[in-house]
Every structure is written in C-alpha cells, then in structure tokens.
Structure 1
C-alpha cells in the first residue's frame, strides 16, 4: 500500500474538494481522483460521499483520518530527525500564514534573506485576512495576533507592536482641529468591514468612541492605508507601517493608542523539521529586532 495515497486522502478530507487538494499537492484533480479510488479499492471501503458541493467523509473515512494523520506525523518526524542542516540540504517549501501588514513591511525582509542563504528553499507567504488551521495543514506555521487557546501547537511570543490613529496632513488641514474624542465624529473613519473582522484583536474602532463609525471599510489593511494616504479619512495604522510615510500624522496619540502582540504558532509535528525550524527561528528573530528598533523618522502628532 502506498503512503502517498494517504497524503491524497488527507488533502481531500481537509479541503473537501479534488481541485483544492490537487492545488495543495501540485497535481491535477484527475490524479487526486485516481489515487483516492486506488485507496478505496485497496481498503475495500468507500471513503467519501461525492456531491456537486464537494467531497464529505463517510463513517469509514472519518475513522481513517486519525490513522492517516498518525502516519503523516511519523513521516514528518522522520524527516525532522534525519534531514540535513547545511546550506545545500535545506530545501523544499515552507508555507507561512501571516497578517498582510507585517508580511509586507517586515516578514518579507526575513524571507528574502532566507532565500539568499538557502537557494533551494521555497518560502510561501499566505498573507490573507483569516485564521490558518495548522491541523488542516493550511500552513506550516503561522504568525498570529492572538494566542491560540488549544491544539497540538508550540507557541512563542514574538514581540509587542503599537498602533495609533493616523490621518494625512492634507486631510487633517482641511478639517476642524481634533482636540477631544468627540471631535472625531467630524472626520471620516476608515477601518475593517465590521462583520468580516477575523480576529477580535483587530476590532479597534469600538474601543475609540461608540459614536465614531468607519464609513470607508476594507478587509485589507493595505487598502485602508492607501485610503488614508489619499486623504480619504483617518484609520488605525501600525506604527511600523506609518513610519515609512512622512505625510501621516498621529491623531490624539495620548487618548488613542493600542498595543498588540505577534505570536509564532507551529504544529508539534512540524516544529523540528529542519527547514521549518530554521525559518521560524530566523523570522521570529528578525521581527523582534525590527519591532524593537524600528527605523524611520519620528511621526508627527496632533
């Protein structure tokens, strides 16, 4: 019996789709279908219910998931125990689930350094506004803004980071001076789409003033930043992002200031795989250095 068949089985079980499983495995959906059929024939059971909506596990399929995951864990542990650690031997893909703001402004620097140091390494940064399931292997490790409360994961605090309310000088110059929180209601708020905020740690606006509501919203922190730079309004922006834009000004910095934390989260099975361990260590250390000693000019405040 071929272990690869179980890899295909787990990919379909986790994604619910032949095409999505194929994308994860780097093959077409016909290959995935063929491998699933081969495994069903070898075991003499039906593993999935097929429907237009996708693939769902049968009772036998649900029972097989745990066994297949133990096989997967053993394979990963073997890789971690016997893989080399030299410049030439460190190779293969490492998928990182990371918030898009820190991905673009900080993590990409560490990823570049890793690629230059280890030419055979493949860094895949998934910078989407969502939580990543390490149990479903959506990422090899994740950088999170909230500490996971459960799961077979190893967690470490990376660093704290600060956020303030920012507006463009040109926008603020065209509006009455903001002296207190109630004055914010004269400004256009920019923020996340309220019902699509994937992590409560990102829900800043209600903490500022109940009467201050965003009227321009996006799921993307980069869209929010561009809107602020274009003079569309004011938004909560990471300090490490704002420092690169001299036209931005902090608004009521004493009254409106947030501190959040980045966490590194790695599945226990993958923590000692050499390429993943090296990437985690180097990215974490780079983030700590950048967030501790942020470059750039002092940001003006009003």
Structure 2
C-alpha cells in the first residue's frame, strides 16, 4: 500500500502525508519492496517518482490487494469513499463547480478528505502529488485517463458606467481604445487562454492579474473591458456584455486522472463533479 501511494502521487512526502507516516518510513518500505522483488520498482524523474517495468508488476499486485481490502470493508458495512483526494484546478472552476460538488460529496461521506489546489496551467506530464487535475483544453498526456467536463467561453464584459464614460465599442477593432483586463502575459501557461486575446487589438495600459477573480473585480470597478469566463460574468449584475455577437472564445475543461479512476474516492469525486455540472446546465 505504501508503494501504491507513491506510485500514484509521485512523491514520498505526499504519500507519507496520505498514509500518516513519515518520509523515512516510506523510503524504508520502498527499499524493502525493491529488495524482495530483486530490483527497482520506482525511478526518480524531474516530475517525481515513476514506476519501472518491475514496478508495474508490483502495481498490479498492490491494486489487487487494495480491491480486496475495499471489498472486505464494504462487506463489513464500511464506507468505501474515504481517505484523501487532492485536486488541482483553475480557481474559477474550483469556485463555481468543484467546491459545491465536493461539499455535497463530503456530507455523504464524512471520512473523505479533499484538498483543492488552485492552478491554471498545462497538464503535468508526470505525477506531482495530485489525484485529479482539471485543465483548460484537451490535454496531451501519456498514461493517464482524460475526460471532458464542460464547455464554456471567454467573452467581453464591462460596467454600464464604464461604457457610458469611455464609449461602447462597436467593432473588435475599436477595442484598441479600451484597457483590456486579462492574465499577465508572461505568467500565462495555457495556450488556449493565450489564443483568446490574439485576435484582439493591442490594449492600452491596463490591469493584468494571475487571478481570474481579480479580472472580475477590476472589470466591476470600471477599470476597462474584461475578458471573462461567461459562467462567472453572465450572472454578475454589475456587468454587461460587450460585442456579444462579435467575440467569443470557446474553451473546455477536462479532467485528468493518472492510471485511470481506479480509486473509489477519486471515482466518486469525478462522479460528483459530473453530476453537479449537469445539474447547473453548463456545457
């Protein structure tokens, strides 16, 4: 089980925290497993620990043991949805979809612990201490299970006061006269998000941030025209749509799980997320 945790999470420290052990105990147990199997089951890479060919044999055995233990727990009346699930997701998605989904899941399964990590970035190519990643755009990743979650669009919004003061643009070209509120270009790691502003004219000096909620608040404060997710902005009564028929950048959220959703807790988290997204009618 120690090996299984390291293989899934990619780090001794992450596995130690989940298992309630210290780092040296995890290291010692992996060394004992290697000795008993006659070779290395894990190899260190830049992104964390990856399983070797020998490790794949150990993985199959460990997952069989895990499934047997889970079945025993279910027969004894225990809740199979428990333990720790770590999810990395963009903050807008986390706030709008992930938090309500896992809150409902936790009420049904109080033995489940969930850690939510705000991250708007490309999918990680190696395990990095998370069980589930939500990313923007279809991910290109090996040895992982990926499934679409929902579609949305980036659109243009401003306040009525700003438009009355600065003038409402009638064409995309006229956006050159307005500050555009969006991500800090040098920190943007997602190509699909970068492409959202490539068809827009260069902006005068404006407020930029790595936080989508800063984009919303800067737009609501009348600092310019915001390039915002429609699922956040369309329900904000402070904002009105700008050029709704001329500009929209369609995007999608995808979920990525390493080695498939084999963990009962991870599978339950994915299912709860899917149910919540469908219930609110997005994508």
Query: Do the two structures share a fold, i.e. TM-score over 0.5?
Result: yes
Structure 1 unpaired stretches of 5+: 16-20, 48-55, 294-302
Shift of 1:257: 0.8
Q: CA deviation at 1:138?
A: 2.7
Contact 1:111-1:283 at 8 Å conserved across structures: yes
Cα deviation, 1:178-210, whole Å, max 9, x if unaligned, reads 111222122111111112212111114533324
1:256-299 residue CA offsets vs partner (Å, 9 max, x unmatched): 1121112222222x512211111111212212332438xxxxxx
* Distance verdict in 2 for CA 1:209–1:39, change over 3 Å: closer
1:131 to 122, 132, 151: 122
**Is the contact between residue 123 and residue 141 of structure 2 (CA under 8 Å) also seen in structure 1?**
no
1:123 and 1:11, CA in 2 relative to 1: closer, same or farther beyond 3 A? closer
1:172 equivalent in alignment to 2:163: yes
Aligned to 1:272: 262
TM-superposed CA distance for 1:69, in Å, is 5.8
Scaled by the length of structure 2, the TM-score of the pair is: 0.79
> Cα 1:114–1:63, aligned 2, differ >3 Å: closer, same or farther?
closer
Q: Determine if contact 1:218/1:224 at 8 Å carries over to the other structure.
A: yes
Q: Which runs of 5+ in 2 are unaligned?
A: none
2:174 is the counterpart of 1:183 = yes
* Partner residue, 1:118: 109
| Deviation, structure 1 residue 223 | 1.5
Question: Cα RMSD (Å) of the superposition?
Answer: 3.5
Q: Deviations over 1:223-270 (max 9, x none)?
A: 2112112221112111111133101111111111121112222222x5
Q: Compared with structure 1, are the counterparts of its residues 115 and 63 closer, same or farther at alpha carbon in structure 2 (3 Å cutoff)?
A: closer
Cα 1:215–1:81 shift into 2, 3 Å = farther
Q: Does residue 71 of the first structure (1) align with residue 71 of the second (2)?
A: no
* Contact in 2 for aligned 1:100/1:129 (Cα 8 Å): yes
The alignment covers a number of residue pairs equal to 270
Is the CA contact 2:154–2:230 (under 8 Å) kept in the aligned structure 1? yes
1:267–1:283 Cα change, 3 Å: same
SS state of the match for residue 217, structure 1? coil
How far off is 1:128 after superposition? Answer: 1.6
Find out whether 1:148 has 2:139 as its counterpart: yes
Structure 1 position 162 matched with structure 2 position 149:
no
Superposition TM-score, scaled by structure 1 size: 0.75
Q: Secondary structure at the match of 2:166?
A: coil
Shift of 1:39: 6.2
**Once the two structures are superposed, what CA deviation does each residue of 1:56-104 show, in whole Å capped at 9, x if it has no partner?**
959xxx9985544653454245324541567733210111121110110
